[in-house]
Amino acid sequence: MVDKITSLAEYFQKYQESVADPEGFWGKIAESHYWHKKWDRVVDWRFSGPGAPDVKWFVNGKLNITENIFERNMFMRKDQVALIWEPNDPCDPVVHITYGELFDRVKQFANALKNIGVEKGDRVAIYLPMVPELAVAMLACARIGAIHSIVFAGFSATALSDRIIDASAKVVITSDGAYRGAKSIDLKSIVDEAVEKCPSIQKTVVLKHTGDEIKFDAKRDVWWSDLIEGVSTENTATEMDAEDILFILYTSGSTGKPKGVVHTTAGYMVYAEYTFKNVFQYNEGDMYWCTADIGWVTGHSYIVYGPLLTGATSIMFEGIPTFPDAGRFWQTIDKYKVTHFYTAPTAIRALLAQGDKWVTKQDLSSLKVLGTVGEPINEEAWRWYHDLVGKGKCPIVDTWWQTETGGIMISPLAGLTPTKPSLATLPLPGIQPILVDPEGKELKGNGVEGILCIKYPWPGMLRTTYGDHPRCFQTYFSAFPNLYLTGDGAKRDEEGYYRIIGRIDDVINVSGHRIGTAEVEDAINQHPKVVESAVVGYPHEIKGVGIYAYVICDDLTDDEMNTIEDEIRATVTKFIGAIAKPDKIQIVHGLPKTRSGKIMRRILRKIGEGDATNLGDTSTLLDPGVVDEIIAGAKVEVKR
C-alpha cells in the first residue's frame, strides 16, 4: 500500500525526512491522490503577522474528496463492502453497503440537495443518529462543495440552534427519532424547537428511522425518501480548491460559545488517509471498527473519511456499549471478526467494571490492533484492554489528537512502535511537537514536562474558526509566538515518549467529550434561582473527569432545596445536553474570590480532588471563610 511505513527504522527515517523537507515529504504522499490540477506549492504558511494564522496546503490544487473515495478506487472496489451498519437492536437487520452502492446513494443525494437549492459553499447542518444516511449526507455535501456542519444528536435544541445560527446553515438534515439503548428520542421535535430561532434554514430534510409520529410542516419539511424519489444517480463532482472548506465542526474552549473549527479539502484529505493507514497499519481485507459517533471529529476522520479514502470496510454502530447487555462490544467484534477496534478509555473503564465474563464469553481471536482516543488512559484500563481484550497479542495505539488537528498527531504505529501503558509515544511523521514553560521558553531534551505546542504546520490542521478569524489567532496562536497551542500539558520521558497529562485550560474531558466549564456555568446560571456558579472537573472512576458545580442560589425554602439539584441538571440538559450534566452539585453561600473578583478555581479543583491539605496561598481571598464552608459541605470526601 502506498505510503505505509512498515518498520520502526523506516518510521525514524521518514520522521527525519519530514522535518528536513516537509514539502518534499507531503508532496510525495499527495501524489497518490486524484487531482484535477496539481498544486503550485505544497505549503504556504504563517502563524503570526497580519491576518494570521495563514496556512495553505497544496496551493491552487483542484480536486474533490469524494472522487478520491469513489472514482479513484471504483474499478477495484465496486463490490467491496464500504460500510457495515450494526443497528441499536442486535435483532434488527444489519446493513451492508458496497462502495458501488454508497457511490450511487451519495450521487443521488447530492443531486437531491441541489434540487432544494444547496450550492457550493452553502452550509448544511446534519443532526442525525448513527445511521448510514449520516455518511451519505456528509459525502453528498462534499460531492457538491457544500460545507457540512454535523451536530452530535445528543446536543439540545439550544446547542443546535447556536450552531446553525453561527454557520447560517441553509438546510438541516435530521430524522424522526433516534434509538439509544432501550430509549427512543424524538429528534424531530428538538430540531423544530431549534429551527424556530434560525431564519437561515430554508428546508428540513427528515429521514424516517424510528417511525414515531412527528409534527410535519409541509412548507419547510421534506421527507428524505420523497427528496430522492426518481432522482438520478448520475453526478459529476464539483471541483474544489485545495483550500475550500470541507466542513465545520463545533468544539468547546475555555471561554464563550463553542467555536466552529474549519477544515479544508486537500490537507484534511491527505492527512486523514495517511494517519489512518499508518497508525492502524491497515491491511487489505481487515475489518475495522471505530465506536465513536460521527458527531465528533473521531467519527469524521476515522469512521468516514480516513477508512473510506483508504478503501477499508468501516463498521458504523448505532447503539451503546451496554445494550442489550454489557457484552455488546465483544459480541459485535465476534460477529464481524473485527481486526481493528478503536474506542474511548471511558468505555473501557465502564466495561472493565462489569467484570471479565462478558469478554471471555466471546471469541475475540480476530483482533489484531486496539486503539484508544479522547482522554488519557489509566494504567489499569490499559492493562485490562491489553491483557484481557487483546489477549496480550494486540498492540494498543493510544492516539492523541484534537478536533483542531484533524487527525492523529502523537501515537504509536501499531505493532511497530514499542508501547508503554498510558503513553501516546511518538509524533507521526510531519508533526513537530515542542514543550514550553509558561513563559514560552522551550524545554529541551528528555525528562521534561510542560505545555504542548506544535511548531510547524501539518496538512490536517484547522485553518480558522468559522466567521471569526481573530478568535482563531487569539485561541491558538497568541499565547506563544509562532507556535500552535494545544491546550494540553505533556511530559516527554527519558526515551522521548510523550505522556499527555491533560488540559491546562478550563476545558474538561468528560467521558472523552470535550466540555468548556464556562459553558456549563452559563447554562446553570439560566436557572432563575441561581446567582452564580463555578464548575470544575474532578477525578471520576469511569468518566475520567466528572463535573463538579459549586452554585450560589437565592434563599431557598426547604422544598426548593430538595429539588434544586434536579432542576439545575435539567437546565444544563436543556441548554447544552445530557453530556454536560453536573455529577456533583454543591449549594454554597460564597465562592473563593480574589479582591479583584476572580474566582480561584485552583482551590475548587483541589477540593473536588478531595485534597485540602495544600490549598496554597489563600491570603489574597476576599473572604477566606468561604473555603472552610465549602470544605465542610463538599460532595466528596476531603482530606484536610
- The three-point CA angle 56-57-61 to 5° equals 110
Give, as ranges, the residues between 449 and 488 that touch ligand WT7 (CB under 6 A). Answer: 486-488
Measure the CA dihedral 12/13/14/16, to 10°: 90
What's the min distance (Å) between Cβ of 374 and ligand WT7? 4
Residue 127: other Cβ atoms inside 10 A: 27
Kindly tell me which of 279 and 585 has the beta carbon lying closer to ligand WT7: 279
Q: Which of 465, 509, 533, 571 binds ligand WT7 (CB under 6 A)?
A: 509
Q: Smallest Cα–Cα separation from 523: which of 570, 473, 481?
A: 570
Kindly tell me which of 358 and 538 has the beta carbon lying closer to ligand WT7: 538
Q: Which of 156, 402, 475, 571 binds ligand WT7 (CB under 6 A)?
A: 402
What's the min distance (Å) between Cβ of 419 and ligand WT7? 12
Distance CA 310, CA 611 (A): 49
Distance CA 609, CA 389 (A): 31
Considering the rule CB under 6 A, would residue 375 count as an interface residue with ligand WT7? yes
Stretch that binds ligand WT7, among 176-184, 203-211, 359-367, 368-376 (CB under 6 A): 368-376
Distance CA 279, CA 396 (A): 10
Contacts with ligand WT7 by CB under 6 A: the residue count is 23
Residue type, 2: V
Considering the rule CB under 6 A, would residue 291 count as an interface residue with ligand WT7? no
Considering the rule CB under 6 A, would residue 298 count as an interface residue with ligand WT7? yes
What's the min distance (Å) between Cβ of 178 and ligand WT7? 21
Helix axes 22-30, 8-20, angle to 10 degrees: 120
Distance CA 515, CA 524 (A): 14
Cell of 212: 414515531
CA 579 to chain centre: 14
Considering the rule CB under 6 A, would residue 319 count as an interface residue with ligand WT7? no
Give, as ranges, the residues between 481 and 500 that touch ligand WT7 (CB under 6 A). Answer: 486-488, 500
Kindly tell me which of 172 and 545 has the beta carbon lying closer to ligand WT7: 545
Kindly tell me which of 235 and 399 has the beta carbon lying closer to ligand WT7: 399
Task: Determine contact, residues 446/431, Cβ cutoff 8 Å.
Answer: no
Interface characters, 247-286, with ligand WT7 (x: CB under 6 A): ----x-----------------------------------
Stretch that binds ligand WT7, among 117-125, 398-406, 532-540, 555-563 (CB under 6 A): 398-406
Stretch that binds ligand WT7, among 118-126, 318-326, 401-409, 558-566 (CB under 6 A): 401-409
Q: Which of 260, 306, 376, 460 binds ligand WT7 (CB under 6 A)?
A: 376
Q: Which of 297, 304, 572, 603 binds ligand WT7 (CB under 6 A)?
A: 297
Considering the rule CB under 6 A, would residue 425 count as an interface residue with ligand WT7? no
Distance CA 141, CA 500 (A): 35
What's the min distance (Å) between Cβ of 69 and ligand WT7? 21
Q: Smallest Cα–Cα separation from 300: which of 243, 371, 338, 249?
A: 249
Q: Is the dihedral of CA 217, 222, 224, 229 positive or negative?
A: positive
What's the min distance (Å) between Cβ of 249 and ligand WT7? 9
What's the min distance (Å) between Cβ of 316 and ligand WT7? 17
Give, as ranges, the residues between 581 and 640 that touch ligand WT7 (CB under 6 A). Answer: none
What is the total residue count of the chain?
A: 640
Distance CA 238, CA 64 (A): 7
Bridge partners of 611, per DSSP, are 639
Considering the rule CB under 6 A, would residue 403 count as an interface residue with ligand WT7? yes
Give, as ranges, the residues between 529 and 588 that touch ligand WT7 (CB under 6 A). Answer: none
Cell of 398: 493510544
Q: Smallest Cα–Cα separation from 310: which of 264, 344, 343, 279?
A: 279
Stretch that binds ligand WT7, among 62-70, 182-190, 293-301, 412-420 (CB under 6 A): 293-301
What's the min distance (Å) between Cβ of 573 and ligand WT7? 20
Considering the rule CB under 6 A, would residue 519 count as an interface residue with ligand WT7? no
Q: For residue 222, give the 3-state DSSP assignment.
A: strand
Residue 228: other Cβ atoms inside 10 A: 19
What's the min distance (Å) between Cβ of 486 and ligand WT7? 6
Element (H, E) at 615: none
Contacts of 151 (CB under 8 A, 6+ apart): 125, 126, 127, 159, 160, 163, 164, 250, 295
Considering the rule CB under 6 A, would residue 374 count as an interface residue with ligand WT7? yes
Give, as ranges, the residues between 405 and 424 that touch ligand WT7 (CB under 6 A). Answer: 424
Distance CA 520, CA 539 (A): 17
- Per CB under 6 A, residues contacting ligand WT7 are 251, 296-298, 373-376, 398-403, 424, 486-488, 500, 502-503, 509, 514
